[in-house]
Amino acid sequence: MISVRAMSAVLNPAVSIIRGLLPPEFNWRTRREIRLTSTFGLPTNFNAFSLNSAFKIILFSPKEPRRVAKPPNQCKLNFFNPNRSEPCGLQVTIAFQSLAASVFWAFFGWLGGLGAYGARSFAIVMAADSTMKKTAWSKLIRRTHMYLALFLTPWMVVYALSSFIFNHHALFSGGKPLAQFEKVEELPYEAVFSDGIEPREAGLQILRDLNREGAFWVGQNQKLTAERFTVNRNRAIGPERIHYYPQENKVIIERQKTTTASLLVGLHLKHGTGHPGIAANLWGIVLDLVIVGMLFWVLSGVWMWLGIKPARFWGGVSALVGIGLFLLFMFTV
Amino acid sequence: MNNTNLIFRRVHLYLGMSLIPWVLIYALSTFTFNHRDWFRGQFNQPDSWAQLWKKEYKADVPRQQPKLKEWARRLLDENGITGAFNVRQNRQSVLINLIQFRNPIRVTYQKNAGQLRAEQKRTTLAEVMARMHVRHGYGRGGVLYNGWAFVVDLVCFAILAWTITGLYLWWKISATRKAGWVAILSGLATFLALVFTI
């Protein structure tokens, strides 16, 4: 057995001396070998790579000072009028988008860990006592039903409130649009587009040039040869319409005043993936999760209902009334 | 189990059981909206309108919208077509759309040619679900049309009721409180970060 004292805490210089080559006498009792077997070779490999490979250029070359457009203490957060073209606006946006993505995936990492831990207990229960199988399944389904719902609560509340606004539109708008667009900027803008460019591609180019990348849509029948070409940058807070006038080489930017109703309706209408930026795509992914959640709530809800004997009759009546009413609507409306 | 707990459980369950078809329709249709490219062939195909009949017709079309609506109602009655509809016109034609879930009908009147044509849409399942998803509002037809709007309100109320009763039921299971807080706060943080940066 190799003594613990044979391992040295001091950095072994052998690698740097031989410049990455193996020593002439390769003895598997050497310190080098001991370090490889007891630490999976990580320190030795790191030394070898950092001292004798191209990585040393990155690791040990003097770093260039970071270029910061504005010192961070001068950055101001303005949530209700976010503009990427403002100082630090882009950094703040990226930071929040990364935060959203991190929290989202961290939650699923945590859920996965919990699931793995639960699966182990589940396997033990299943192996130990077959009469407890049903209880173990029941617990797993109930917990998934609940945690999924707790995570998706904000989205479900938004969909409920916004649907109510759609259903009673006149009550909230008085027959007018929910919120008006107002002109906020007029800028000179000259651009060269490749021949036969698709409207969506042209829209993306305009947004990039104006530092306004993110979820957007453009009318597919629009042409760059027309008097005006409009790109809709559908932000959640303060959606913008960017009108590009090719003949006049200018853009006019209009922003919608955000009201609670317009915000809820805007969030209700957001969907799809393939937008530039993290946030809009992540919204599309969460929307898929909402769909999975709704289907799972139905299936697991029916399963749980079958397990509650006193609720079987009235639960069955409720389901039949719902299905009957739905079929009536489907064939008559 | 105390009374409040039982009432909350039963409200959560019975509302869920009665609204299963709507929850399924909203979920599945949202999937077609979110992945529009995958369902491109399912929506608005150019040859999906089939002609029902075509006839010669000559009439003076009123310009004002309420009178135009009355005129369209009479025209549909004369031709044995019933149901809620929208009507709009331009210089050349009048378009009457009968808004039905399964087989929408459109009647077009060509003013200059003096021609009336009725067509029915061959519809796909994705289109039916999408029409159900977007149908909302009162006062567009008879009792059944308003009944659908009432159910939309009921779904809105149900989602809020599921949220409130669900939170109550979660709080009553003390073993799940910590994990529940993690789920709620991570959901809320993701939501807020997305809303402010999207």
Q: Which residues of A touch B182 (CB under 8 A)?
A: 107, 110
Q: Which residues contact B139 (CB under 8 A, 6 or more apart)?
A: B146
Return all residues near A54 (Cβ < 8 A) that are at least 6 apart.
none
Is-above-0.90 flag for pTM?
A: no
Q: What is the pLDDT of residues B71-127, one digit of tens each?
A: 999 999 888 888 888 899 888 899 999 888 888 899 999 988 889 999 998 888 999
The candidate with the shortest Cα–Cα distance to A211, out of A91, A294, A312, is A91
Of the ranges A54-58, A264-268, B25-29, which one carries the lowest mean pLDDT score?
A: A54-58
Q: How far is A322 from chain B (nearest CA, A)?
A: 4
Tokens 């000072």 -> residue: A65
Angstrom distance (rounded) from CA B181 to CA B176: 9
Query: What is the structure's pLDDT at A66?
Result: 41
Please tell me if residue B193 touches chain A, with a CB cutoff of 8 Å.
yes
Q: Is the pLDDT score of A24 beyond 50? A: no
Segment A15-29 shows an average pLDDT of: 46
**Closest-approach residue (CA) in chain B for A156:** B159
Is B34's CB within 8 Å of A322's CB? Answer: no
Closest residue of chain A to B30, computed from CA coordinates? A291
Q: Count of CB contacts below 8 A, A vs B? A: 219
Q: How far is B185 from chain A (nearest CA, A)?
A: 8
B191 and A CB contact within 8 Å: yes
Residue B150 and residue B158 in contact, taking contact as beta carbons nearer than 8 Å: no
Q: Which of B17, B31, B132 sits opposite A315 (nearest CB)?
A: B17
How far does CA A246 lie from the centroid of its chain?
35
The verdict on B102 touching A (C-beta cutoff 8 Å) is yes
The more confidently predicted of residues A185 and A105 is A185
Q: In chain B, which residues have their Cβ closer than 8 Å to the Cβ of A295? A: 24, 27
